[in-house]
Amino acid sequence: MKKYISLILIFVFIFSISLSTKANQNNLDIQNSNAQALLKLDILRGYEDGSLRLENNIRRSEFITLVVRLMGYHNDDDIDNVNITFKDIEKNHWAYNNIRLAVKYDLVAGYPDNTIAPNNNVTFAEALAVVIRALGYENTLEGTWPDNVINKATELNLDKNLSLKANQQITRGEMSVIVYNALTVKLNTD
pLDDT at 24 over 80: no
pLDDT at 59 over 90: yes
Where residue 180 falls among pLDDT bands split at 50, 70, 90? Answer: very high
Query: Which residues are 42's β-sheet partners?
Result: none
Percent of the chain scored above 70 by pLDDT?
A: 87
- pLDDT score at 21: 46
Mean pLDDT over residues 62-88, rounded? 94
Where residue 17 falls among pLDDT bands split at 50, 70, 90? Answer: very low
Mean pLDDT over residues 42-66, rounded? 93
Query: Which residues are 116's β-sheet partners?
Result: none
Question: ω before 118 within 30° of 0 (cis)?
Answer: no
- pLDDT score at 50: 86
Residue type, 94: W
- pLDDT score at 18: 45
Phi-psi region of 69 (alpha: psi -120 to 50; beta: other; left: phi over 0): alpha
pLDDT at 2 over 90: no
Q: How far is CA 179 from the centre of its chain?
A: 7
Cα-based distances in Å from 11 to 3, 23, 109: 12, 18, 53
Percent of the chain scored above 90 by pLDDT?
A: 78
Residue type, 19: L
Question: ω before 112 within 30° of 0 (cis)?
Answer: no
The pTM is what? Answer: 0.84
